[in-house]
Amino acid sequence: MRKRFLLVVTVLMTISLLLVGCGPPAPKVIKIATQSPLSGGMSVVGTDIKNGAQLAIEQLSGPLVKMGYKVELAPFDDQGNPDTGVANAKSIVSDPAILAIVGHYNSGVQIPSSEEYHAAGLANISPANTNPKVTERGYLEVNRICGRDDVQGAVGAQFAKSKNMKSAYVLHDKTAYGQGIAEYFKREAETLGIKVMGFAGTEEKANFDAILSPILASKPDVIYFGGMYDQSSVMFKQARQKGYKGMYLSDDGFDSSDAAKIGGDSLLAGAGTYFSTVSGPASVYSGTAKFIADFKAKFGAEPQPFGAQAFDCAAIALKAIEDAAVAAKKMPTRADVTKAVRALKDFQGITGVINFNAKGDLTKAKYFIIQVTSGDPAKWAANKIDQTLDIAPPQ
């Protein structure tokens, strides 16, 4: 009797295993990675780059899911540090399920990290990296949906000239991004007849006394800072405390609500604070109303700069993977996806129609000059847009 019972149990278990084996196959996993600062002084913007990409994957993966794929986000924290970014990049390219990478925030991190993506043939779509070297290397894998510093720096100088600024003191943070854009500002300012009274780099983030002494002594009409908000807003605040009444002017590294959290009403004093950017507030783009509402519902706050661009970068990656999968009739290779990204024409993103040139730059990019109008971080998205420009990249 016992032997018969064991035989029945064995047969039933075998049948169950066979039935399980005959069930629908598990979906094949496709991953899209992100790299941005998720910790440290730039995390408020870096986190929303990740969040923008996450929202796109959640909302736009339907076609790939119907084809039998499961799409996942693989977020990496580059900490705004080149060494960390490169170490993460090595991990990213070692995972064969990752078919595209959205990132970075800092050009100084993207440039060395993208050498790894290039070597592995992994498509990299950047929402925020503006240094010309990002695309001037001619890598098929590297694309960006924002403008360039050689244009943005010149736009800043042209704005200063339009405001009758006759002299400038130029600072930068010694990074590839900050020093690069400061040099482009300086070059255009001198061409326009603005006297550049000093050009210096600093890694200081707390006490700017030594930096400010020669600046205040030279009494420039405008202080230009090439770098990030966690540094420049501290320096701007200390300059105001020491009596500086001129204009502050910076770049899109200044574009974060944390700049107001740090600088407060000091940003409104004197001749005011302005910054150029390749990313206006999300609300400036005609296609972002649903994105903003969905983003606030999911993450509890307005998107920071480059959140909408990160959404578009992930959307481009998803469409390219879909197109490559349809063409291959199987899981696409990284090379397939890389070619499909560059092959997209008139892609309708939430930030506008997107086309890449042979270098991976937009065929035409938007640039903005924005005036800080409140020291309240909650009102950062309501800052005044002074100028909006559409400019093609240098040939």
Judge if the upstream peptide bond of residue 118 is cis by omega within 30 degrees of 0.
no
The strand order across the sheet containing 28-36 reads: 69-77, 28-36, 98-103, 123-126, 142-144
Do 374 and 251 lie in one domain? The reply is yes
> At residue 321, does pLDDT exceed 60?
yes
> At residue 10, does pLDDT exceed 60?
no
Q: How confident is the model at residue 8, as a pLDDT? A: 45
Instruction: For CA atoms 255, 258, 263, 264, give the dihedral sign.
Output: positive
Do 71 and 166 lie in one domain? The reply is no
Does some domain include residue 14? no
Beta-strand ranges (E) seen in the chain are: 28-36, 69-77, 98-103, 123-126, 142-144, 167-172, 195-201, 222-226, 247-250, 273-277, 347-349, 352-354, 365-371, 384-391
Does some domain include residue 185? yes
Q: What is the pLDDT of residues 324-357, one digit of tens each?
A: 999 999 999 999 999 999 999 999 999 999 999 9
Do 294 and 174 lie in one domain? The reply is no
Does some domain include residue 6? no
> At residue 173, does pLDDT exceed 80?
yes
C-alpha 290/C-alpha 218 separation (Å) is 49
Task: Tell me the three state secondary structure of residue 330.
Answer: coil
Do 130 and 237 lie in one domain? The reply is no
Whether the CB-CB separation of 84 and 103 falls below 8 Å is answered with no
Q: How confident is the model at residue 19, as a pLDDT? A: 46
Does some domain include residue 121? yes
Do 319 and 358 lie in one domain? The reply is yes
Q: Which helix (H) or strand (E) holds 79?
A: none
Q: At what angle do helices 209-218 and 229-241 cross, to 10 degrees?
A: 60
Do 374 and 264 lie in one domain? The reply is yes
Whether the CB-CB separation of 103 and 54 falls below 8 Å is answered with no
Do 156 and 121 lie in one domain? The reply is no
Distance of CA 12 to the CA centre of its chain: 56
Does some domain include residue 13? no
Its domain, for residue 160, covers: 150-277+368-391
Sole residue written with tokens 């661009």: 309
Instruction: For CA atoms 224, 227, 232, 235, give the dihedral sign.
Output: negative
> At residue 11, does pLDDT exceed 70?
no
Whether the CB-CB separation of 176 and 111 falls below 8 Å is answered with yes
Q: What is the pLDDT of residues 204-213, one digit of tens each?
A: 999 999 999 9
Do 167 and 209 lie in one domain? The reply is yes
CATH code (residue 186): 3.40.50.2300
Do 321 and 342 lie in one domain? The reply is yes
Do 232 and 303 lie in one domain? The reply is no
Dihedral pair phi/psi, residue 213, rounded to 5°: -55, -55
Does some domain include residue 172? yes
> At residue 26, does pLDDT exceed 80?
no
Does some domain include residue 10? no
Whether the CB-CB separation of 222 and 165 falls below 8 Å is answered with yes
Mean pLDDT of the chain: 94
Q: How confident is the model at residue 24, as a pLDDT? A: 57
Task: Tell me the three state secondary structure of residue 62.
Answer: helix
Do 254 and 377 lie in one domain? The reply is yes
The more confidently predicted of residues 115 and 13 is 115
Whether the CB-CB separation of 280 and 304 falls below 8 Å is answered with no
Domain count, the chain: 2
Mean pLDDT of 291-298: 98
Does some domain include residue 7? no
Whether the CB-CB separation of 161 and 190 falls below 8 Å is answered with no
Question: How many Cα atoms are found within 13 Å in the side-chain-facing hemisphere of 346?
Answer: 0
Do 289 and 253 lie in one domain? The reply is no
> At residue 25, does pLDDT exceed 80?
no
pLDDT-based confidence at 23, cuts 50/70/90?
A: low
